[in-house]
Structure 1
Amino acid sequence: MAQPSTPAAPRGSAPHDSRNAWAAGGAMFAGVLLLVDGVFAIIKGISSIADDEVYTRLGSYVFKFDLTAWGWIHLILGIILVVVGIGVLKVAAWARALGVAFAACSIILNFMWLPYTPFWAIISIVIDIFVIWALCTEPGRSRSATA
Structure 2
Amino acid sequence: MSTHAGVRQDSAGHSSHSGFSTGWMMFAAALMVFGGFMAIFQGIAAIAKDDVFVATRDYVYKFNLTGWGWIHLILGILIVLAGFALFSGAIWARFIGVAVAGLIMISNFMWLPYYPFWSIVLIAINVFIIWALCVAPRPEKF
**TM-score above 0.5:** yes
- Paired position in structure 1 for 2:22: 24
Gaps of 5+ in 1: 1-8, 142-147
Residue in 1 that maps onto 2:89: 91
**How far, CA to CA, are the matches of 2:50 and 2:65 in structure 1?**
6
Quote the residue 2:74 is aligned against.
76
How does 1:1-147 map onto structure 2 within 5 Å?
14-15=15-16, 20-139=18-137
Matches of 2:68 and 2:138, distance apart in 1: 39
Select the structure of larger CA radius of gyration.
1
Closer, same or farther: CA 60–37 of 1 in aligned 2, 3 Å = same
For 1:28 and 1:133, the matched residues in 2 are separated by 12
Unaligned runs of 5+ in 2: 1-9
TM-score, normalized by length of structure 2? 0.83
Partners of 1:52 and 1:67 within 8 A in 2:
no
Determine the structure 2 residue equivalent to 1:4. none
State whether residues 21 and 139 of structure 1, in contact with CA within 8 Å, keep that contact through their aligned partners in structure 2.
no
Runs of 4+ with >4 A deviation = none
Residue deviations 1:39-92 (CA, integer Å, cap 9, x gap): 010011000011253300134310110000100110111100100010111110
Output the CA distance in 1 between the equivalents of 2:113 and 2:60.
10
Whose strand fraction is larger, Structure 1's or Structure 2's? 2
Could you state the TM-score of these two structures normalised by the residue count of structure 1?
A: 0.80
Give, in angstroms, the shift of residue 118 of structure 1: 0.6
**Higher relative contact order, structure no. (Cα contacts within 8 Å, ≥ 6 residues apart):** 1
Amino acid at match of 2:56: L
**Distance of 1:15 and 1:69 partners within structure 2:** 47
Query: What is the root-mean-square deviation of aligned Cα atoms in Å?
Result: 2.3
Aligned residue pairs, count = 130
